[in-house]
Structure 1
Amino acid sequence: MTSTTLTPAVPAPDPAGAPADGSAQPPAVVFVHGMRTSGAIWDRQLEHVRALGHDAVAVDLPAHGARAHERFTLDRSFEVLDEAAASFGPGRRVALVGLSLGGYTSLAWAARRPANLAGVVAAACTSDPKGKPVALYRDVARLVVAGGGAVGRGARWAARTSGAAWSAITRAGRSLPGGGASSHALAGPGDAGAAHRPAAPGWHVVTDALTQLAGRSWLAHVRDVDVPVWLVNGARDHMRLDEQRYLAAAADAALVVVPRAGHDVNSEAPEAFNRVLGRALADFGRGRGARLGA
């Protein structure tokens, strides 16, 4: 296990891109977005890994993007990841890159030990989603979903005020919970009615997602992952609360903290995140049992 803070001097990945296990192709990459966003947040990362020689796709989780008509469940999310991994062809090794909700989902999927998984980059998801702040945020979201008229106005007021409790955990710098900053970039107030911009998912996805996540311990999932795990956090992200516990729980892990970034680390510090991503993908190609970074 290793831990580091990102510095400008970053070793370049193997230019050949060939994994050490003799596989003919470098691992394909599946990107998994955070809550109330879509696969569109990964555009710069898709361009980067494809330039490194990796096939890649950014999925939309249930209740998001092209799957906005679906309800969010982990089981359905696992099916989405199964389909994405299979899309690269039989036997192709696959790496997962997930942010926030997408990171939790990726770790839970990886804990099932799917065949041909090469490694996981789990960003902004090293704090177990449990306890009173999560329950409060989920319950306020339920009020917003159920409310109408005066009740709806009261629920929205409760969301603005009570949401501060959740923000105390999730926010840092200019970040918003679960990729919220990217969500607003996709569909901010000025974008109402813009046909080319997808609308951010409604509050129902918050209730569904937190209901699915609440009560689980992702430390147990991390312990069950049998491939390398790279944990990536923005230095200003309060979701780093348990990062050292996650690092210790994994059998084969690295921790990278990106300076001056918050929760939406891939969009707030895209160049730094891409450098980390290149290092991680190169690391996923090493032989099992080799030292991290060797």
Structure 2
Amino acid sequence: MTTITAPRPHQPPAIVFVHGMRTSSRIWERQVAHVRALGHDAVAVDLPAHGTRHGERFSLARSFEVLDDAVASFGPDRPVVLVGLSLGGYTCLAWAARRPANLAGVVVAGCTSDPKGKPVALFRDVARLVVAGGGTLARAARWSARTSVAAWGTFARGAGSVPGGADTASVLPGGTVTATTAHRPGWGIVTDALSQLAGRSWLPHVRALDVPLWLVNGARDRMRLDEQRYLAAAADAALVVVPGAGHDVNSEAPDAFNRVLGRALADFGRGRGATLGA
């Protein structure tokens, strides 16, 4: 007697959300709820040195292990979509460039400017002084740090947002900025992250992608500098600019971001070779 095995039902891709620098998985609460309501499984991870992993040091290699584990948690054959903001976006692009077989698509925000040049180097070097210094040196470094953070923050976000959570408050879902008792990574994460990111171009990672890529930026985010280059480098990409939002686009304009995310997930379900509808 021949046994006929019924085909496995189609499962929508699972979603892995990756946060920005000096914040945590908490920033994705509205997005996790939204995609679950659409029928997707989802998890928001904490990168090394953040949230539940605050005891670790940040590195891209360790971040890749975190993503490996998150993706594997959905099963070996489950298609997966990555969604990343800022540092999380750069991490997602680098991880996706390894072309994992079950990756269905990538959505990144606030990471379409190559992290290089004097502003990034200054931010990184001042952070090193804060971590290592003592006495007069430490006081001078802390003063320089405050000045540099203000200048870099203004550059990154335009106005009114917190770049990747790198401020003295936390951005909660809905764009509300409040004080929090949750662990907030210190300056060590800045030195570790920028030492690995600074001076490198992420365009080769974009060119290596063999899945659709959606770039989402807030209109006021000054880290959009290279968005057209990123768009042109990708084989299959769309760019969406959210009016009125800054660097933390998912927290500042959660409803708009969720609509874009829904469109991206629908796009990732299309047949390969179809034309992207931005």
Same structural fold, with TM-score higher than 0.5 when normalized by the shorter chain: yes
* Counterpart contact for 1:31–1:42, Cα < 8 Å: yes
Select which of 236, 239, 247 maps to 1:263. 247
1:76: Cα distance to partner?
0.5
Distance 1:211 1:133, change over 3 A: same
Q: In the alignment, what sits opposite 2:128? A: 142
CA distance in 1, matches of 2:171, 2:89: 20
CA distance in 2, matches of 1:259, 1:189: 23
Select which of 192, 195, 212 maps to 1:208. 192
CA distances 1:129-151 after superposition (whole Å, capped 9, x unpaired): 01111100000111111123433
CA distance in 1, matches of 2:154, 2:171: 22
1:160: Cα distance to partner?
1.4
* Counterpart contact for 1:33–1:100, Cα < 8 Å: yes
Distance 1:155 1:256, change over 3 A: same
SS of residue matched to 1:128: coil
Gaps in structure 2 of 5+ consecutive residues? 1-7
Q: In the alignment, what sits opposite 2:3? A: none
Same amino acid, percent of matched pairs: 77
Distance 1:182 1:33, change over 3 A: farther
- Counterpart mapping for 1:1-294 below 5 A: 24-180=10-166, 184-185=170-171, 190-191=179-180, 197-293=181-277
* Counterpart contact for 2:238–2:277, Cα < 8 Å: no
SS of residue matched to 2:166: helix
CA distance in 1, matches of 2:247, 2:53: 24
The TM-score normalised by the length of structure 1 is: 0.87
CA distances 1:15-53 after superposition (whole Å, capped 9, x unpaired): xxxxxxx97100000000000000010000000000000
CA distance in 2, matches of 1:23, 1:288: 20
1:176: Cα distance to partner?
2.6
SS of residue matched to 1:42: helix
Which shows bigger deviation, 160-169 or 176-185? 176-185
- Could you say what the CA RMSD is over the residues aligned between the two structures, in angstroms? 1.8
Distance 1:23 1:221, change over 3 A: farther
* Counterpart contact for 1:175–1:181, Cα < 8 Å: no
Distance 1:26 1:212, change over 3 A: same
Gaps in structure 1 of 5+ consecutive residues? 1-21, 192-196
